Amino acid sequence: MKTVFEYAEACLRSPSIEEKLALTHQAWQCEQSGLLHFDTNSPVMAIADVNFPAKPALLPPRAMPNRKLTTVDGVVAFFHAIAHVEFMAISLAWDLLYRFRGLPEQFYRDWLRVADEEAQHFELLQGHLRTLNVQYGDLPAHNGLWDHAVDTADDLPGRLAMVPRCMEARGLDVTPGIIAKFAAVGDNVAVALLTRILTDEVGHVERGSYWFKFVCSQQGLAPEAHYQTLIKHYYRGGKPKGPFNREMRIIAGFSDTELDWLES
């Protein structure tokens, strides 16, 4: 394979966890060695042709096991849920760079790096689950994460608003509190793992903000007003609920106006 889109399509089509991980790392290595091409002429497959593994079983949020961090089963369910988010994030990063063509090369390099970091996050969590005697796929997982990609398959500003600037940004709000809970019980491994992920996620949201503004300016849209329009259009249930981590979201490219609106 030579082009980033060939890697993207192979990764998105594969239902195998191992193959998705291996292709993601290969593509990033190829980019780092200066061997990856970014020719954008190949056709784009339909989002319905993206495949996922047979396990975990994907169920509605209300069917998820209890994730209370005060019990061993709750901690296992929590890490399984986070592993699933990271696993889906690999395909979300790939689909973002695969589906939207004609952007500067840096756009593709940025989301390829994100895909590789998501694969690393997943592998860290997969390893952590094994120490808890669980495999990724042993528990059911949330069926809704891919819906945002399907909803925005033809809308790049919508994709950037909903995936990095809504779903991933949510992680910046909630993860510090979860880290504090693990710190309070002396679980240093969980603290280190979640801190590593949080640090990278600030960067992912920041790239989302950067490219959101870039694409809005290309399309003659006012970014702050258009962000509101897109959230109102795509977010199920009106608007994300706080509390919001203003400090980290500012670092990740949110404006005070956007944060004031989210909080209002």
Q: Write out the residues near Fe ion by the rule CB under 5 A.
A: 86, 89, 118, 121, 168, 201, 204
Q: Which is nearer to Fe ion, 170 or 239 (CB)?
A: 170
**What whole-number distance in Å separates Cα of residue 182 and Cα of residue 194?**
10
State the minimum distance, in angstroms, from the CB of residue 203 to Fe ion. Answer: 8
State the minimum distance, in angstroms, from the CB of residue 35 to Fe ion. Answer: 25
Contacts of 15 (CB under 8 A, 6+ apart): 51, 52, 53, 54
Q: Which is nearer to Fe ion, 14 or 120 (CB)?
A: 120
Residue least distant from Fe ion (Cβ): 204
User: Residue 94 has which token pair?
Assistant: 């790939």
State the minimum distance, in angstroms, from the CB of residue 121 to Fe ion. Answer: 4
Q: Which is nearer to Fe ion, 31 or 201 (CB)?
A: 201
Mapped onto helix, strand or coil, the DSSP state of residue 254 is coil
State the minimum distance, in angstroms, from the CB of residue 188 to Fe ion. Answer: 20
State the minimum distance, in angstroms, from the CB of residue 198 to Fe ion. Answer: 9
Q: Which is nearer to Fe ion, 110 or 118 (CB)?
A: 118
Other Cβ atoms less than 10 A from the Cβ of 62: the count is: 5
Would you say how long the chain is, in residues? 264
**What whole-number distance in Å separates Cα of residue 119 and Cα of residue 91?**
9
Q: Which is nearer to Fe ion, 14 or 91 (CB)?
A: 91
- The beta strand positions in the chain, using DSSP E, are 58-59, 141-142
